[in-house]
A and B are shown apart, each in its own frame.
Chain A
Amino acid sequence: MRRFLASIDTKAAVGFGLVAIVALCAILAPWISPYDPNAQDLLNSVAPPAWAPHGAAGHLLGTDRLGQDVLSRIIYGSRVSLLAAFAAVIASGAIGTFLGLVAGYFGGWVAAFIMRLVDIMLAIPFILIALVFMTVSGPSLTNLVIAFALARWVQFTRIAYGLVLELREREFISACITSGVSKFDILFRHILINIAGPLLVVATLELGFVILIEAGLSFLGLGTPPEIPSWGGMLQEGRALINVAWWLTTFPGLAIMLTVVGFNFIGDWMRDSFDPRINIGRSLSDQVVASER
């Protein structure tokens, strides 16, 4: 534990701090937000932040077209972002890790098939897969999560596959095989545990990616419906009023950026502090986000 704490540098501390704030917002939203996020106050619509010229008293970050409090909506919006991110990353991580383990361990045509599928998925920008899927199944948060699971597993598969290939040649795996440990146990009890660290790094960086893209799709009107406050949806409203209300655009975007910075910092720190024997290289975060935006 002491070593764990000692390894946290300024960057990691900032990352953990940012993510903790967002998580607390999501959990405590009903208690800490100054207003009901959907409470309309048409007399006070499109009011600038309290501290700006002509600002509306009591609305720290101003109000939107319906007089809804921007700060409260940002606090509640963290729920959609975190929920979508965790659901999507758990689903795609489970699928991707499993396929990577299978491909790496069994090799042969199984690996050839899975890895070719990875190549194909990587050739389609994610946003387009999401668009196709949303056209077919209709825009909603659930469908968004399914789209992420269907498309983002490849990120886990490529990393897991490479790691398993290396690990398979190690002596302790040969020892397992000769002593008759079942394939299932080798894969999930011996190999999976040894590659969990790097995969956790991928997962952390993916959380940031999902938050970015979820907001992007909501911004395009393809994510959460307008009555649920979400950062991307707020930006969409902000765009319509960009000539008169700068605060509607600025603050939700800032919330997205700071959250993503938080996850990226944690991911970078984890990457640097995990087992250096498994050299996944400094390019891991590059690879993860290498594909499209």
Chain B
Amino acid sequence: MISFLVRRLWQFLIVVIGVITIVFSLQHLSGDPTNLLLPIDAPADVRTELRHQLGLDQPLVVQYFRFIGDVVQGDLGTSYRFRQPALGLVLERFPATLLLAGASLLLSLLVALPLGILAAVYRNSWIDTLATGISLIGQAAPVYWIGLLFILLFSVQLHWLPTMGGGSFAALIMPATTLAFYSIARIMRLTRSAMLDVLHQDYIRMARAKGLSEPVVLIKHALRNAAIPVVTIIGLQFGGLLGGAVITETVFAWPGVGRLAVNAVSQRDFPIVQAATVVIAIAFSLINLVVDLLYAVLNPRVQLE
């Protein structure tokens, strides 16, 4: 277990450094990073001053290690629009994004797991057809469009829910449901196929032959074994939800990291975009790390691989 832990932590570290490196290279892709760090109309002497201040007159390698040093110390630049440290601004909004993604995940699990199990048990019944239909829409319809349709129905037509904003439970319902659509589709499909695989195993036939009741067979024997692939995808889904939140937040004016980043793009406020990317990527990797460790506890075989 220890060696698995060390190996996995090492991988995590490499991914984090890699993410920082990619952001660094993208920053230099435009040629002169001061274009990104200053407003377009900044005077030339300010530009030269900043270039010197940031060490942009230094060799690229020096700049790179300095950048890593800054990031490690939590310095991801200063937003020129808010004139505050970018990382602070992003972290301030991170709980809102986390709340949205968490609520979506919870909702996805509540819908997808029972529906996936029922679709497998009653294969080719109407419930299976319903499940297939939902997963089809969830995979092909743009999330933001589903969000807009929700607004049309529940806010414009029925006046049940507020169209935008954060803070209240009512304001959370639509964005979370919208965002959940996609993970419902994926988790349900996987649960269904994992259950179908398991239900054909000999030990299930054996359990039935022993005269165990159907609920016991399904829950105690089938579900436990079907859970293993499902647990992995839940971690992946959470990361996906953090990314998906970017557009959903914009549709519903939800005050999270995604909306901050999207607004920053149109104002070319690069430090914010950079900080948002680093924070979300690290959060995503951290979640994967935790899921992998949990997985290793659940299924000791993977430690050997």
List chain A positions with a Cβ less than 8 A from chain B: 116-117, 119-121, 123-129, 131-137, 139, 208, 212, 215-216, 219-222, 235, 238-239, 242-243, 246, 249-250, 253, 256-258, 260-261, 264, 282, 286, 289-293
Contact = CB atoms under 8 A, between A and B. Distances in A.
Contacts of B225: none
B148 A249 contact: yes
Contact of A257 (B141, B148, B233, B277): B141
Contact of A136 (B27, B236, B242, B246): B27
B44 interface: no
A238 B148 contact: yes
A259 B186 CA distance: 19
A98 B27 CA distance: 26
Interface string B244-278: 10110011000000000110111011100110110
Nearest to B270: A135
Interface residues of B, number: 60
A124 B22 contact: yes
Contacts of A235: 142, 144-145, 148
Contacts of A293: 143, 182, 240, 243-244, 247
Contacts of A239: 148, 251
Interface string B82-119: 00000000000000000000000000000000000000
Contact of A290 (B15, B144, B240): B240
A133 to B, nearest CB: 6
Contact of B285 (A123, A131, A215, A222): A123
Chain A residues touching B, majority SS: helix
Contact of A128 (B189, B246, B285): B246
A292 B186 CA distance: 12
Interface in B8-25: 11, 14-15, 18-19, 22-23
Contacts of B156: 242-243, 246
A17 B256 CA distance: 40
A116, A133, A220, A289: most-surrounded residue (chain B CB, <10 A): A220
A216 B190 contact: no
A126 B193 contact: no
B290 interface: no
A232 to B, nearest CB: 8
Interface stretch (B62-70, B132-140, B206-214): B132-140
